[in-house]
């Protein structure tokens, strides 16, 4: 595995590799890697001839500076995991490398309603930060395939919108959420959970399963209210429990029995914010 820290050098190397005619795959991360990230590397290796991974904790997508400061950093372990997984290139830029003109007066992207709902509503500015860093990474790497986890369902849709804005040739390939044996969705933030909190955090996936199992017996508003109450009783501070059109992410108050649905949850356990989602019906039917 080659580690590159300078954007210019990355572009030079990838330009050389492009001459070989290989399909390129890209896995952007913020480090603190787990099996979910490694499954994306495996998918890239399956479909692409060269796999690029980036590790960059992007300051512009944290609307809470404390959250940025507390984000887990495990670089040495991450490098070992990526080498073992067969990653070809690790891009490891500094903040100055990604934002040479500083972090103020940055560009703004038209994300439409995606920025006003769910995490867009509860984390103002977050998705602008995601787009600011992803625009830079995509311009540098210019991959054929972009691999991202479905755990960040809304983020995948935001990046899909960004690719359309960029008129990019890159194809987004979302991969299913990887879960621990308990059902807990794998996340870098899980590293901050105590042993007791890890046991409690499993309740989020249980609530999603509850929504799925009761979809046809309760109205959507009643189902969301019940799910929210159950999470609160389990000690969570709930940002949202929402049921949306799985294709558009439009929040729904009723269901016609045909529209594909996804349930999404964001809730705090102590000061740690966890998100998860579950497809409730087959996409497209």
Helix (H) and strand (E) counts in the chain: 10, 9
Quick one: pLDDT at residue 285?
Answer: 40
1 known ligand binder: no
- In 3D space, the residue among 277, 81, 93 whose CA is nearest the CA of residue 179 turns out to be 277
Beta carbons within 10 angstroms of residue 179's beta carbon: 16
- In 3D space, the residue among 21, 42, 23 whose CA is nearest the CA of residue 33 turns out to be 42
272-279 β-sheet, strand order: 237-245, 261-269, 272-279
**Residues annotated catalytic, as ranges:** 37
Q: What is the spatial distance between Cα 71 and Cα 43, in angstroms, rounded to a whole number?
A: 26
Assigned token pair, 173: 């390939």
DSSP letter assigned to residue 151: G
Whether 3 contacts 80, CB under 8 Å: no
52 known ligand binder: no
Quick one: pLDDT at residue 127?
Answer: 98
Residue 185: is it exposed, middle or buried by C-beta count within 10 angstroms (0-12/13-18/19+)?
Answer: buried
45 known ligand binder: no
Average pLDDT over residues 43-64: 96
pLDDT tens, position by position, 233-275:
999 999 999 999 999 999 999 999 999 999 999 999 999 999 9
Q: Kindly report the pTM of this predicted structure.
A: 0.95
36 known ligand binder: yes
Which residues 6+ apart lie within 8 Å of 141 measured at CB? 10, 14, 24, 26, 52, 54, 91
pLDDT tens, position by position, 212-239:
999 999 999 999 999 999 999 999 999 9
Q: What is the mean pLDDT of the chain?
A: 96
All domains in the chain, ordered by first residue: 2-175 (3.40.50.620), 188-277 (3.30.1300.10)
191 known ligand binder: no
Average pLDDT over residues 68-89: 96
Quick one: pLDDT at residue 283?
Answer: 59
pLDDT tens, position by position, 109-137:
999 999 999 999 999 999 999 999 999 99
Question: Is residue 284's pLDDT more than 80?
Answer: no
């Amino acid at each position: 595995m080659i580690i590159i820290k300078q954007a210019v050098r990355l572009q030079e190397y990838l330009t050389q590799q492009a001459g070989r005619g290989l399909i390129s795959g890209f896995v952007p991360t913020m480090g603190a890697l787990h099996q979910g990230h490694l499954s994306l590397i495996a998918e890239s290796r399956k479909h692409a001839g060269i796999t690029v991974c980036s590790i960059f904790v992007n300051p512009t997508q944290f609307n809470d500076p404390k959250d940025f400061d507390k984000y887990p950093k495990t670089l040495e372990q991450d490098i070992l995991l990526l080498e073992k997984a067969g990653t070809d290139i690790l891009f490891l830029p500094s903040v100055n490398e990604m934002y040479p003109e500083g972090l103020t007066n940055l560009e703004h992207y038209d994300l439409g309603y995606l920025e006003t709902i769910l995490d867009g509503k509860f984390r103002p500015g977050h998705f602008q930060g995601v787009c600011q860093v992803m625009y830079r990474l995509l311009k540098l790497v210019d991959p054929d395939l972009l691999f991202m986890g479905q755990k960040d369902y809304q983020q995948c849709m935001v990046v899909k919108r960004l690719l359309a804005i960029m008129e990019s040739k890159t194809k987004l390939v979302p991969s299913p959420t990887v879960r621990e044996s308990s059902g807990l969705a794998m996340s870098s933030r899980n590293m901050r959970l105590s042993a007791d909190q890890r046991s409690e955090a499993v309740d989020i996936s249980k609530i999603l399963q509850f929504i799925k199992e009761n979809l046809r017996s309760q109205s959507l508003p009643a189902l969301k209210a019940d799910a929210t109450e159950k999470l609160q009783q389990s000690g969570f501070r709930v940002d949202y429990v929402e049921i949306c059109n799985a294709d558009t992410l439009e929040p729904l108050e009723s269901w016609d029995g045909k529209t594909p649905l996804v349930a999404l949850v964001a809730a705090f356990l102590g000061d740690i914010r966890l998100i998860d989602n579950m497809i409730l019906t087959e996409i497209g039917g």
